[in-house]
Amino acid sequence: MPLAPLLLTLGCAPAQPPSGGDDPLQAWYDGQAEVNGYRWRGTRYGELRTGEAVAIFVTETLGAKEHVKVDHPEAQRGDTLTVLKLNLVRDFQTGLYDYDTMCSVFVDVRDLVAVKQTFSSGEWCGHVFDEIDVRGRELRHVVRSYFQGESVDTALPMRPGGLVGDDLLVWLRGLRGPVLAPGATRRVPYLTDPFERRLRHGEARWGELTVLRAAEEAEVTLPAGTFRAVVYRLEASDGRRGLVQIEAQAPHRLLGWSWERDGEVLDAAELTGSRRMKYWELHAEGQESLRRDLGLDG
């Protein structure tokens, strides 16, 4: 097949349900992705910035060995993993130039445990790629950076029950049942998310995260509307305090999050719009108007 037609056939189509009976995540195999838009805020260079974020949740099929997307899973039966992927994009302006960042987290649908996390950041000085690949009891960590002294190729131990960066935002949705009872607290091993590490030039290292679920649901009003929310308060061992709001009713969408340290807003977002769609097919001129449904600039 010539190259151009081949490229046109490749997309981000979701996975088929894994075999083995009923799956509580059945709704995620409808051939669509959940696409959420957010109003974003955060501090960079000592000033509060505003921008936009997009969180895309979709199922995919990965090769069990390579941990990369499989385009023809029927040809690799028995050698694949069905994953739920979160693509989290943050874009914001800093004076003359902008930052464009993206984190992809892949979790096994069977237990919602992280399989891989990749992150990229680009701005006018240069760009950085950061990958953490979960291999049993080991995390393989690779960084390729424009900046001197930041590129690494190393390994970290996997901590039992540990959360790998933005895996936290998948876990708290409770797609296989609530992660905490109302009013309950839990401490978990936590590897700081790559967006925080990038902006603060921090190293990947394990810490701890204390997660407290509020005893009562809250009514929250956001640009996308008013929702009943399950509220989680977070305390990280690196000194950050966080808040995550999850829609109380199914599909338990990520309504917003915030991280701060010593009163400084580091990373915060609130939902502006949400749709289920085959976004990978919506690339024609004129279809950018759909961004308004997500509360994003058209």
Query: 91-127 pLDDT, tens per residue?
Result: 999 999 999 999 999 999 999 999 999 999 999 999 9
Q: How far apart are CA 208 and CA 196, in angstroms?
A: 15
The CA distances from residue 134 to 113, 141, 164, 241, 259, in Å, are: 10, 9, 9, 26, 25
Mean pLDDT calculated for residue range 18-24: 64
pTM across the whole model: 0.92
pLDDT class of 5 with cuts at 50, 70, 90: very low
Name the residue among 160, 71, 77, 83 with its Cα closest to residue 117.
83
Question: How far is residue 179's CA from residue 185's CA, in Å, rounded to a whole number?
Answer: 10
Q: How confident is the model at residue 20 (pLDDT cuts 50, 70, 90)?
A: low
Task: Assign 115 to helix, strand or coil.
Answer: strand
DSSP 11: -
Determine the pLDDT at residue 21: 57
Q: Are 69 and 294 in contact (CB under 8 A)?
A: no
At residue 8, does pLDDT exceed 70? no
Instruction: List Cα–Cα distances, 52 to 37, 98, 126, 219, in angstroms.
Output: 7, 12, 21, 23
Radius of gyration of the chain (CA): 19
Kindly report whether the peptide bond that precedes residue 251 is cis, defined as omega within 30 degrees of 0.
yes
- Residue 2: predicted pLDDT: 42
Q: Of the given ranges (11-25, 80-94, 128-142, 266-280), which has the lowest mean pLDDT?
A: 11-25
Domain ranges of the chain: 11-280+288-293
What are the tens digits of pLDDT across the range 214-248?
A: 999 999 999 999 999 999 999 999 999 999 999 99
User: 63 near 85, Cβ under 8 Å?
Assistant: no
Residue 265, pLDDT > 80, answer yes
Dihedral over alpha carbons 25, 26, 29, 33 (to 10 degrees): -50
What integer is the mean pLDDT of 30-45?
96
**Residues 189 and 208: beta-carbon distance below 8 Å:** yes
Contact 195, 103 (CB under 8 A): yes
Across 185-191, average pLDDT: 97
Contact 152, 141 (CB under 8 A): yes
Q: Is 145 exposed, middle or buried (0-12, 13-18, 19+ CB in 10 A)?
A: middle
pLDDT, tens only, 56-91: 999 999 998 899 998 877 777 778 899 999 999 999
What one-character DSSP code corresponds to residue 148?
Answer: T
What does DSSP say about strands 241-247 and 254-261: parallel, antiparallel, or unpaired? antiparallel
Residue 38 pLDDT grade (very low, low, confident, very high; cuts 50, 70, 90): very high
Task: Give the chain's mean pLDDT.
Answer: 91
∠ Cα 214 218 221 (to 5°): 140
> Among candidates 169, 253, 251, 175, which has minimal Cα distance to 211?
169
